[in-house]
Amino acid sequence: MSAEAGRFAPGPIERRKRLVERAAYVCLLLTTAALILPLLGILAYVVVKAWPVLSWSFLVENPKNYMTAGGIWAPLVGTLDVVVLSLAIAAPIGVLAGVYLSEYARENWLTRLVNLAVVNLAGVPSIVHALFGVGVFVLMAGFGRSIAAASCTLAIMTLPVIITSTTEALAAVPFAFREACWNLGASRWQTIRTIVLPNAISGILTGVILQVSRAAGETAPILFTGALFYVAVTDSGVASFFPYGLRDPFMALSYHLFTISTQVTGASDALAYGTAVVLIALVLTVNLVSIVFRVRLRSRRKW
């Protein structure tokens, strides 16, 4: 017995190896912690500084006194309006375009080029989307700085990613299912409608939901296409939910955060931190929903 233990007992090289291994583990753990913990700490700090201001009335009141008091109702509803409108434009077009690229388009150089363009467009800097939005929607189409122009700009920004997540979700449905349906006399669209889309819908929705959070948080694309420093808006009643007409400029949460922290003097810090907290909470909630969706997708696999 002791002879066996002696044979497998660690020698000097092995002992040093294990030491290095331990050291590496600790270093990597510390690096990861050093990245994540300060971030969590900063976020906690932001919440703490915002505390005095966070309340229901903060959310539903409009900014007052040249932004030095009041709440964030106008920017909040502006963001919601413009995000909903942009997704209402981008989601149907993007999903159907994804269906086209995945199920109908022939495999040739054009399709490959389109896929390449779509994937790379997702990486274009957001300020370039602002340039496009200004040139095309504000000026050429004559929308002016408005909800319409900003929604269209955001729609173009989110379109490529919706297309890509749709094609990926569709590609995850095994080809054998489609073949089986075709052989049964189902047409292409019938197959897509009854088998392919229903089984890809979770993945598609996850992609769309993620774009909701992205559209809500982006500032650059709406900078010159419609977001304004201040727009007078009603406080109460049903009209306060749709205060902006399609041709009107609007306030937005992300832009409001930018102006209130860099361009407003006399506002309490808490107001700016409060705005930041609401924006972060909005974005994180939407992302959590998409994560929950993804987990549900994984557990409800039908094949």
Partner 1 sequence: MVPSMGRRKDLRYRFSAFGESAVEWAIRLCGWSAILFVFAIFFFVFREGAPVLFGELDLTEFITSVNWRPDSTIRPQFGILALLAGTASVTALAMAVSVPAGFASAIFISEFCGPKAREALKIIIELLAAIPSVVWGFIGYMVLNPVIIWATGAPIGINILNGGIILALMSVPIIMSVGEDALKAVPDSYREAGLALGASRWQLTTRVLLPAARNGLLAAALLGVGRAVGETMAVLMATGHSVRIPHSVLDPVRTLTATIAAELGETVQGGTHYRVLFVIGSLLMIISLITNLTADLIVRGVKGRHGT
Partner 2 sequence: MAAHVVFRNVTVKYGATTALDDISLEVPTHQIFGIIGPANSGKTTLLKCINRTIDFIPNVRITGEVTLDGEDVFRVKNVCDLRRRIGMVFPLPVGLPLSVYDNVAYAPRMAGMRDRAQLDELVERCLRQAALWDEVKDRLRLLGTKLSGGQQQRLTLARALSHRPEILCLNRFSIAVDPVTTSKIEDVLLELKREMTIVVVSNLVQQVHRLADRVAFLNSSRLIEVGPTDVLFSEHPAHQLTFDYVRGHFG
Residues near partner 2 (CB under 8 A) are: 106-107, 176-177, 179-187, 190, 194-195, 199, 302-303
Q: Which two tokens stand for residue 280?
A: 């972060």
Please name the residues in contact with 76: beta carbons below 8 A apart, sequence gap of 6 or more: 59, 253, 278
Nearer Cβ to partner 1 (41/239)? 41
Nearer Cβ to partner 1 (113/239)? 113
* C-alpha to C-alpha distances, 184 to 106, 168, 188, 190, nearest whole angstrom: 22, 26, 11, 11
Residue 97 has phi, psi (to 5 degrees) of: -65, -40
Nearer Cβ to partner 2 (89/171)? 171
Q: Which amino acid is at 261?
A: S
Among partner 2, partner 1, none, what does residue 224 contact (CB within 5–8 Å per kind)? partner 1
Compute the least distance from the CB of residue 195 to partner 1, in Å. 15
Compute the least distance from the CB of residue 123 to partner 2, in Å. 30
Q: Which amino acid is at 77?
A: V
Q: Which two tokens stand for residue 141?
A: 């189409």
Among partner 1, partner 2, none, what does residue 232 contact (CB within 5–8 Å per kind)? none
Strand-strand pairing, 63-64 and 69-70: antiparallel
Q: Which amino acid is at 118?
A: V
Compute the least distance from the CB of residue 32 to partner 1, in Å. 4
DSSP conformation class of 238: G
Among partner 1, partner 2, none, what does residue 293 contact (CB within 5–8 Å per kind)? none
Compute the least distance from the CB of residue 108 to partner 2, in Å. 8
Do the Cβ atoms of 215 and 154 come closer than 8 Å?
Answer: yes
Do the Cβ atoms of 155 and 97 come closer than 8 Å?
Answer: no
Nearer Cβ to partner 2 (55/190)? 190
Nearer Cβ to partner 2 (180/292)? 180
Among partner 1, partner 2, none, what does residue 126 contact (CB within 5–8 Å per kind)? partner 1
CA angle 120/122/123 to nearest 5° reads 70
Strand partners, 227: 250
Compute the least distance from the CB of residue 99 to partner 2, in Å. 16
Compute the least distance from the CB of residue 95 to partner 1, in Å. 8
Among partner 2, partner 1, none, what does residue 172 contact (CB within 5–8 Å per kind)? none
* C-alpha to C-alpha distances, 120 to 9, 54, 160, 266, nearest whole angstrom: 55, 40, 9, 43
Among partner 1, partner 2, none, what does residue 236 contact (CB within 5–8 Å per kind)? none
Compute the least distance from the CB of residue 173 to partner 2, in Å. 9
Rounded Cα–Cα distance for residues 269 and 252 (Å): 19
Among partner 1, partner 2, none, what does residue 100 contact (CB within 5–8 Å per kind)? partner 1
Nearer Cβ to partner 1 (181/223)? 223
Nearer Cβ to partner 2 (56/175)? 175
